[in-house]
Amino acid sequence: MWFLYRPDAANVWKNEEIRKRYKRYRGILDGTNIPRYLITKKISANFSFDDSIKELWKIHDKAAKKFNETIKKIDKEEISFEDLEVPGLSFLDLKEHIAHEILKDCHFCERRCKVNRAEGKLGYCRLGKESIVSSAFLHTGEESVLVPSGTIFFAGCTFTCVFCQNHDISQEWCNEFREKITGGILVTPKKVALLAERLRKEGAKNINLVGGDPTPNIHTIISALKEFNEKITILWNSNTYQSLEATKLLLELMDFWLPDFKFWDNQFAKEMSGINQYREIITRNLKMAYDEGSGELLIRHLIMPGRVEEDTYPILEWCSKEIPKAIVNLMDQYHPEYLVLSKHDKYRSINRRIYPEEWNKATKKADELSIFWKPVS
Ligand code: SF4
């Protein structure tokens, strides 16, 4: 019944530009394209579990090349996906192995805590080896092209945003002694795969991996993809602060990227989200997803009070120049939340909603730069 209150979800596909920019995503929905993660299961990767990490990355790069050649041929119908044999050790097996190596010296995100999470040590995100899912449901409130979206919310985050609207699952899911205090459940990869299967059966158009942030859970997610075989889009919905290595693992797995791009000013990013080098890391990862990954991106830009010229303008300029085919969701829904409310004197400058004139300035700039935003904002 979701389509009764989201008629835009069907109508949006009448837009030629949407069909063109999300060609593969549309193809997966129509059953004419194969999700990327399924193709990684049919690419062989000749590695040994004793190989050094350096050697594993070399083999990974070779397999990535083979993957890119193969997906092109499959899309052009020069070869059939179904006819490809399942190798003894696949590209997906290799990615899983590398992810578990990274976990031992965690650098899934650019905080690079370097703790051994496989032994239960905790880094900044306070997650050990296990993943916690706080909820999984058919989300009808996402952008029109995505709904209903089979959304899996992982607890924990690599950011500590003072205005977080999901602070219960991103930052307050465990207490000061790091004991879990929310209603989330510990999940195995098999359990995540079963959740995804259930969402698919309920009518999900995609499997939407989010949180908190999904980044600390990459090892669980990759192992879950080994257990999952549905022909459905896999979507990365993240703050995009994942490490270079994590981005490489994700490139051949994610069909659709739904990244936040919040700040341009690194000092403001540090004050608001407690992170360093935000701009350099986000732009690097977006470029990689655009140039080397599926290239199908929907950028979420939350317009912040008093920040249109400092953040919105340069972000839109960068997007129009570097990732021109990405679609941008200009978001006007910022409202004071969490620490902005409880420490309102400290965060006075962002303790309000955006003014109509700030929205007008942002949309005018997007139009001047020919950014495609209206059907998804
Ligand atoms: S995911 Fe990021 S924040 Fe969490 S332990 Fe690893 S490097 Fe640290």
- Tens of pLDDT, residue by residue over 270-328, are 999 999 999 999 999 999 999 999 999 999 999 999 999 999 999 999 999 999 999 99
Domains in the chain, CATH or no CATH each: 16-30+126-376 (3.20.20.70)
Residue 369 CA to residue 265 CA, distance in Å, equals: 20
Ligand 1 pocket mutation, candidates 124, 174, 218, criterion most atoms within 8 A of CB: 124
For residue 131, pLDDT beyond 80: yes
CA of 281 to the centre of ligand 1 (A): 15
Sorting pLDDT into bands at 50, 70 and 90, what band is 182?
confident
Q: How many CA atoms lie within 13 A of 52 on its CB side?
A: 3
For residue 34, CA distances in Å to 57, 72, 233, 254 come to 25, 11, 9, 12
Give CB contacts under 8 A, 24+ apart, made by 188-191: 188/220, 189/220, 189/221, 189/223, 189/224, 189/226, 189/227, 190/224, 190/227, 191/133
Gap from CA of 122 to ligand 1 centroid (Å): 8
Phi and psi for 248 in degrees, rounded to 5?
A: -60, -40
Provide the 8-state DSSP code for 44.
B
| Confidence label for 6 from pLDDT (cuts 50, 70 and 90) | confident
Contact 60, 94 (CB under 8 A): yes
Residue nearest to atom 2 of ligand 1 (CA): 109
Helix (H) / strand (E) element for 138: namely strand 131-139
List pLDDT tens digits, range 197-234.
999 999 999 999 999 999 999 999 999 999 999 999 99
Mutation pick for ligand 1 pocket among 102, 104, 127, 218 (CB with most ligand atoms within 8 Å): 127
Label the pairing between strands 233-238 and 256-259. Answer: parallel
Across the chain, what does the average pLDDT equal? 95
DSSP summary character for residue 292: T
CA 9 – ligand 1 centroid, Å: 35
Q: How confident is the model at residue 32 (pLDDT cuts 50, 70, 90)?
A: very high
Q: What is the pLDDT of residue 170?
A: 85
C-alpha 287: how far from chain center: 14
Digit-coded pLDDT (tens) for 245-274: 999 999 999 999 999 999 999 999 999 999
The pLDDT confidence band at residue 114, using thresholds 50, 70 and 90, is very high
Q: What mean pLDDT comes out for the span 155-175?
A: 86
Amino acid 177: pLDDT: 67
Q: Give residue 171's pLDDT band: very low, low, confident or very high (50, 70, 90).
A: confident
pLDDT at 4: 67
Tokens 């590209």, located at residue: 91
Q: Which of 20, 62, 30, 31 is nearest to 45 (CA)?
A: 62
Residue 139 near residue 208 (C-beta atoms within 8 A): yes
